[in-house]
Amino acid sequence: MSTDRPLETRRLAAILAIDMVGYSRHMQADEAATLRALREARSAVIEPAIARHGGAVFKTTGDGLLAEFSSSVSATQCAVDIQCEMPETGSAAPGQFRIGVSLGEIVVDGDDRYGDGVNLAARLEAVASPGGVSVSRLVRDQTEGKLAARFVSRGALALKNMVEPVEVFDVVPADAAGAPARAARHRRLPRRLLAAFAAAAVAVAGIVAFFALPRVPVPGVVQSIAPLIAVLPFANQSGDLGEEYFSDGITDDVIGALGRFSSLAVLSRNAVMPFKGRQAASDEVVQKLGARYVVEGSARRAGDRVRVQARLTDAQGARVLWSDRFDASTRDLFVLQDELVQQIAGSLASQVDRMERERARRKPTENLDAYDLVLRGRALLETNTRMAHVQARALFEHAMASDPAFADARVGLARVLYFYVQYGFTESPVEAAQEAEAQLREALRLDPANVRALGLLGQILTYFGRYDDAMASIDRALAINPSDAEAYYSRASVLLWVGRLDESGRATDLARRLDPTTASRPDHLFNQALRLILLDEPEQARVLIERHASSTPRFGSLYVLLAIAYAQLDRPDDTARAVATVRKIDPFFDADRFGTRLRDAGQRQLVIEGLRKAGLRPD
């Protein structure tokens, strides 16, 4: 009996599975923009890359497709190229894809393909990070060393409908840490693709219920929600409608600058423009926009002077939480506008972060999600005691268990571990710093644009003497968010240890302007005091440390600098008391290691001489 249907055949093949992240959510938000972005991504990037590497598409789905390749090397290289050529978009807009690649036996049934190889590719794609590529061990074994990429094991994972756990590897391109290569590829993309993603981003960002979702949604775990902020249009108080552009520009730029903080969710310009030109009651903003915080302000130009006022309000309680005024000259209006926005956004973000920590403190312990656990952990780190740090570590680890994809939980744990090193709370500082680095690397795998992780990583790389890598990490953090005070403090720290003291001072000044409340944090005080010691200003160092000594009783390294300052000022009794304090609060203090991270040999010698003069290091 004859049949028109071809016989089934079996063969070994590499399978690539790809789909759009959050497709259903994006379709609900804006169906037309999502379909346009998906269509353009397929025609401009995905399908050309598959054809270029000798693959063939055998199935398309609503949000993705499946393709067959004759080799795992071709399939994996194709996957890497697709992700590198995709325009970068935020998690709130369509444009991010996940890819899985497997190697196995498939059944060829006419134009269709099925079997273990196809099933595994689909499961690997499901656990890949947004913008990432995950592969099986067999693919890793056949591909490693043949691509400009490295493979990071995620261990054996229990994948859906797979009988045995599968060892999964993430593919990290060799240029993943350097944005320029990716940016160059973006510039070659068709304008229609960039326009489609941009249009979709604007449309979805305008949805009021915007959530800061984890990078990889995990069924059954708590989703982390960022506080929603509405920046109402700044009022033009110049008395001249021709100056309207300036107040509108301040509004747009503040929205954009706040949006760079991953810990915040900011409503788009379109969402808040209905409030332009009128006073809005807090309950109206809550009802119509769902915002937790409201930013309001005004701008006025008079002659060659500009005054911008801003205030932050708790929308639900109608309380003014913060307000400030910024005055400047109009010598260069655009530079001025950038500086004002930077200061306003940095100040607002630090205030919201502080209020969120306080809100988490008041929340019942039986009703804490991962986001609140992280906020509570951060608040505990401000108390500067060993017990508080132990409790903070437990909260961060609980948050990681509740939401494995929440990068900020790992950043918090890394911060605790590095504080152990700085406070002398561990007998094994090198091991603690290594574990902190590992947590930060994982956080950046989950969230490559996490500014907190990049900034702290810069400090830890400095601890290990990897100065160039440290500076690159800090520069990347500030490129992502030039209004982040903590990133500037991290930059000041790295510059200090590489001997660029003047630049370190300028970075500290800028960080202090963006967030003056954390200038007295022990690690920040230490950096400022060490800079003064290296500038041969022991009196200024003494004044700085004594002013804050009562609030930093457990930070032994600060008292080391105080002992050096007293010794250089020829105050032997005070020196002896400071040395006794060091030995009491930091039993693990290692005089041979202290100051050895300084890159400049002359500055290292200056610290060694100070330690000897203080009696902390033998001659």
Residue 465 included in any domain: no
Domain match, 297 and 348 both: yes
Output the pLDDT for position 406.
85
For the chain, the average pLDDT equals 78
Q: What is the dihedral of CA 526, 529, 531, 535, to 10 degrees?
A: -160
- Residue 124 burial by Cβ neighbours in a 10 Å radius (0-12, 13-18, 19+): buried
Given the structure tokens 């490295």, which residue do they identify? 150
As for how many domains the chain has, the answer is 3
pLDDT in tens, 30-51: 788 888 888 888 888 899 999 9
Please, which pLDDT band fits residue 174 given cuts at 50, 70 and 90?
Answer: low
User: Residue 570 has what DSSP assignment?
Assistant: T
Give the domain CATH number at 255. Answer: 3.40.50.10610
Residue 261 lies in a domain: yes
Instruction: Return the pLDDT at 530.
Output: 94
Q: Compute how many other C-beta atoms are within 10 angstroms of the C-beta atom of residue 506.
A: 15
| Same structural domain, 164 and 121 | yes
- 295: tokens are 């930013």
User: Per mean pLDDT, which of 186-195, 257-266, 312-321, 551-560 is the most reliable?
Assistant: 551-560
Going by C-alpha positions, the residue among 158, 144, 349, 153 that lies closest to residue 259 is 349
Domain residues for the domain of 286 are 228-356
| Token output for 94 | 């369509």
Query: Which of 356, 391, 413 finishes a domain?
Result: 356
More confident residue, 619 or 268: 619
Contacts 24+ apart (CB under 8 A), 543-548: 548/520
The mean per-residue pLDDT over the stretch 474-503 comes to: 86
Residue 215 located in a structural domain: no
Is the confidence at residue 345, as pLDDT, over 80?
no
Window from 490-504, 529-543, 584-598 with minimum mean pLDDT: 584-598
Do 276 and 150 belong to one domain?
no
Q: Higher pLDDT residue, 166 or 195?
A: 166
397 and 391 in contact (C-beta within 8 Å)? Answer: no
- Whether 160 and 239 map to the same domain: the answer is no
Q: Same structural domain for residues 155 and 264?
A: no
Q: What is the pLDDT of residues 206-254, one digit of tens each?
A: 332 232 333 233 222 223 345 677 888 888 887 777 677 677 777 776 7
What gap in Å lies between CA 492 and CA 9, rounded to an integer? Answer: 64
Q: Tell me what pLDDT residue 460 has.
A: 94
Domain limit, last residue, from 356, 375, 410: 356
CATH of the domain at 129: 3.30.70.1230
- Pairing verdict, β 265-266 and 235-236: unpaired
| Distance (Å, whole) CA 511 – CA 482 | 11
Q: How far apart are the first and last CA of the chain?
A: 100
Nearest partner of 223 among 365, 378, 98, 399, judged by Cα: 399
Q: Residue 64 in contact with residue 97, Cβ under 8 Å?
A: yes
Q: Per the domain annotation, does 485 fall within a domain?
A: no
Residue ending a domain, among 302, 327, 356, is 356
Verify that 114 and 249 share a domain, yes or no. Answer: no
Look at residue 242 in the predicted model and tell me its pLDDT.
66
Give me the pLDDT at residue 142, please.
87
Mean pLDDT confidence for 176-180: 36
pLDDT of residue 389: 86
Beta-strand ranges (E) seen in 455-599 are: none
> Does residue 288 lie in a domain region?
yes
User: How many whole angstroms separate alpha carbon 253 and alpha carbon 390?
Assistant: 40
**Rounded distance between C-alpha atoms, residue 210 and residue 227, angstroms:** 9
Q: What percent of the chain has pLDDT over 90?
A: 26
Q: What is the mean pLDDT of residues 501-522?
A: 81
pLDDT of residue 496: 93
Residues 188 and 241 in one domain: no
Residue 462: C-alpha distances to residues 30, 167, 446, 492 (Å): 45, 33, 23, 12
Range from 48-62, 319-333, 495-509, 560-574 carrying the lowest mean pLDDT: 319-333
Instruction: Answer whether 99's CB lies under 8 Å from 79's CB.
Output: yes
The most confident of 88-92, 332-336, 424-428, 517-521, by mean pLDDT: 424-428
Please compute the mean of the pLDDT values over residues 498-505 and round it to a whole number.
Answer: 92
| Between 89 and 360, residue with greater pLDDT | 360
Give the domain CATH number at 587: 1.25.40
Helical segments of 240-332, H only: 244-258, 269-272, 282-289
- Mean pLDDT check: name the lowest of 193-207, 237-251, 521-535: 193-207
Residue by residue, DSSP assigns 2-56 as --SSPPPEEEEEEEEEEEETTHHHHHHH-HHHHHHHHHHHIIIIIHHHHHHTT-E
